[in-house]
Chains A and B, each alone.
Chain A
Amino acid sequence: MLKTILCVDDDPITLMLCKKVIKKAEFSEDVLFANNGQEAFELIQSLVNKKQNDTEINLPQLIFLDLNMPVKNGWEFLDLFNTTISNEFLETKVIILSSTIDPSDYNKAKQYDIVSHFLSKPITVEMLENLKPIYS
């Protein structure tokens, strides 16, 4: 089981679904949530700061990221993450979880080394079961 993961989505129902499915699949001990790329980035940054004082703090090992979000979308989050704080997260991977059908989104995702999977919503128990052997 993973220690901490982060789910980023602007849709509260999707987040609720994530929470329930992750719990049901026993995929991670802790689940953090953010409503858009900006919130996610700020959350991570505050965790990084806290970790300097308290080594007990766990940084998310996996991020489920939606693409279409207000304020900062998934791509903007990835760019910001890559350019500023990715050094702290050598182990962290991002899974894009989206409803997009635009082929250019799939191609764009391939350009980010940090992105390990591109999955189509909804998140399901089977999906997480398949991911388990890869991330634990």
Chain B
Amino acid sequence: MKSKSNIIAFVFIIASLFLAIIMHLVLRGSFKNDFQSLITFHFIKDVSFIIAAGLLLRFVIARNDKRNISILEQLQTINTEIKDSNERYDIVAKATSDTIWDWKIQEDEFIWNKGIQGIFGYKKEDVGQTSSWWFDRIHPEDSLKMSVKLYSFLEQKTERWQDEYRFKCADGSYKYVFDRGFLVKDADGKAIRMIGAIQDVTKQKEEEQRLRLLETVITQTKEAVVITDTDISNNPIPNIIFVNPAFTKMTGYKPKEVIGKSPIMFSGPKADMSELEKLSTAIKNYKECFIETLSYKKNGEEYWVNFSMIPVTNKEGEHSHWISIQRDVTKEKNQEREREQLIRELTQNNKDLKQFSYITSHNFRAPLSNLTGLLHLLEDVPIENEELQEILNGFKRSTHLLNETIEDLVKVVIIKDNPSILKEDISIKEIFENVFFQLNNQINLYKPTIKFDVDETLSIHINKAYMESIILNLMSNALKYRSKDKVSKILIKAVDKENFVNLIIKDNGIGIDLDKNGDKIFGLYQRFHNYPDSKGLGLYLVKSQIEAMGGSIEVESQVGKGTQFTLTFKKE
């Protein structure tokens, strides 16, 4: 503008001087050389000059104005364009959620856009103007790595730079950011300015970390994990798209050897076809499925696999993949097989033994029954020879004793064979009445004092035959092992408890030395007194029968004072 004013002034002066000279030359000839004429001459010359100069000035100013207006218009257009461009830049930054920074490197001038307020929560006045404000807000764990990368970038002066780091927000928390920068160079190639865009990637980062954590489940687990697609057009079991390291460890197959192939490849001659059929049906119906079959490793080795196939769906709820979890259960399977084999053998052994005991019993009983039958017949044959009679009586007694023993043994064998026996509600009183009837002879002979303290209405859930046999054994023991020097006393008492009934049978007989024989008292073939008709079977049978009915028996005894049996039966 200044130069323009100078030009205008200069042109005006030159033009005026030129005009003045022209005027002077033109007008000089027309006027006389008198004073009056001189005055008139000067007046006309001045007026003409002023008019001419004025016209000239107007022309120059008008031209200048015209040029100025066009410049102004140009400026206005540029201004609007800049404004638009600025707006566009803000909108784009907003749309991409990017925070833009602009760093004049030499001057260390650092300018942030509005994102630093919106995304990181800083107030306008808190935002620093230098690069150190930026560096100070980078997480200490990231700052070293980040600055090394940034400075090496500045040194190498490549065009692009990008990095991930944590950036501190106004509230002190950190956001994961992804920062990308461009370098502006001057004509000499010197970096003068750097412009960057910061993206908040906290959400992606957290999701990534969560996914990585979930992924470790698959990569670290000891179970083999296989993922397949859902295409069953070629194979009943769809193709593998992923296997985890545990799978490789289990089967020997590397991922690249199985990806794109159907798990049917692990099957072989001994695979369980019905299980595979089950699996392929489940796959057709998009149902989860669990199977166990023999499978084959890469080296051909067989192994038992426990195999699950579970359908998974994508976000839209469409069936997208199958996840299969597989476990090598060969060891368990073998153990199971050994166990089954053992059970089979034991069952067979047990069956054989049982059969053996039946046959033995039968072979004992057959001739014995002949003896018994023959002795019956003998009863009606008159015998005059006394000695023969005596011998025959001996025969008879021995035969009866042998018969009783065999019958008791048979009972034991049958109890062991019949774990579930028929039980019914039986009155305790009724049982004792039956037993007293059977023991009538002995009771009349020894005349014991029997105290019977049992509620007449009390009944228990038992097997009648077993219970009679138990009471008969205990009562005949009480009579058999009575004390020789005092009157035999027997107390029978029933105690009705909430969940069970206690039945007590107490005598004042010779007793048993429990310190010596306590653990053997209910054993098979245990005899504690040298009585001719004691077989060592009675208490064993009693205990077996009580236990077969779900009850229990305990004994207390003192030598010379007596014995007490306490029977416990559950109420049902």
Contacts and interface: CB of A to CB of B under 8 A. Distances in A.
Interface of A: 11, 13-14, 17, 20-21, 24, 68, 98-103, 120-125
A11 B369 CA distance: 12
Contacts of B370: 11, 13-14, 17, 121-122
B14 interface: no
Contact of B373 (A68, A98, A101, A123): A123
A113 to B, nearest CB: 25
B366 A99 contact: yes
A24 B377 contact: yes
Interface string B344-386: 0000000000010010011101111110111011001000000
24 contacts: A11-B367, A11-B370, A14-B366, A14-B369, A14-B370, A17-B373, A17-B374, A17-B377, A21-B376, A24-B380, A68-B362, A68-B366, A99-B361, A99-B365, A100-B362, A101-B365, A101-B410, A102-B355, A102-B362, A121-B366, A122-B369, A122-B376, A124-B373, A125-B376
Contacts of B369: 14, 99, 120-122
A121 B358 contact: no
B362 A99 contact: yes
Interface string B413-424: 110011000000
Contacts of B373: 14, 17, 21, 121-124
A102 B372 CA distance: 21
Contacts of A123: 373
A102 B366 contact: no
B414 A103 contact: yes
A56 to B, nearest CB: 32
A101 B413 contact: yes
B381 to A, nearest CB: 11
A8 to B, nearest CB: 14
A21 B417 CA distance: 34
Contacts of B380: 24
A40 B414 CA distance: 32
Contact of A121 (B361, B365, B410, B417): B365
Contacts of B372: 122
Contacts of A13: 367, 370, 374
A103 B418 contact: yes
Closest 6 CB pairs of A and B: A122-B373, A121-B369, A99-B365, A122-B369, A102-B358, A99-B366
B386 to A, nearest CB: 25
B366 A101 contact: no
A76 B410 CA distance: 26
Contacts of A24: 377, 380
Given A101-B362, A101-B413, A121-B365, 20 more contacts: A11-B367, A11-B370, A13-B367, A13-B370, A13-B374, A14-B369, A20-B377, A21-B376, A21-B377, A24-B377, A98-B362, A99-B361, A100-B362, A101-B361, A101-B414, A102-B355, A103-B418, A120-B369, A121-B366, A122-B369
- B358, B365, B369, B377: most-surrounded residue (chain A CB, <10 A): B369
A124 B417 CA distance: 29
B348 to A, nearest CB: 16
A24 B374 CA distance: 13
A65 to B, nearest CB: 14
B374 to A, nearest CB: 6
A17 to B, nearest CB: 4
Interface string B151-178: 0000000000000000000000000000
Nearest to B372: A122
A79 B431 CA distance: 42
Contacts of B417: 103
Given A14-B370, A103-B417, A124 B365 contact: no
B358 A101 contact: yes
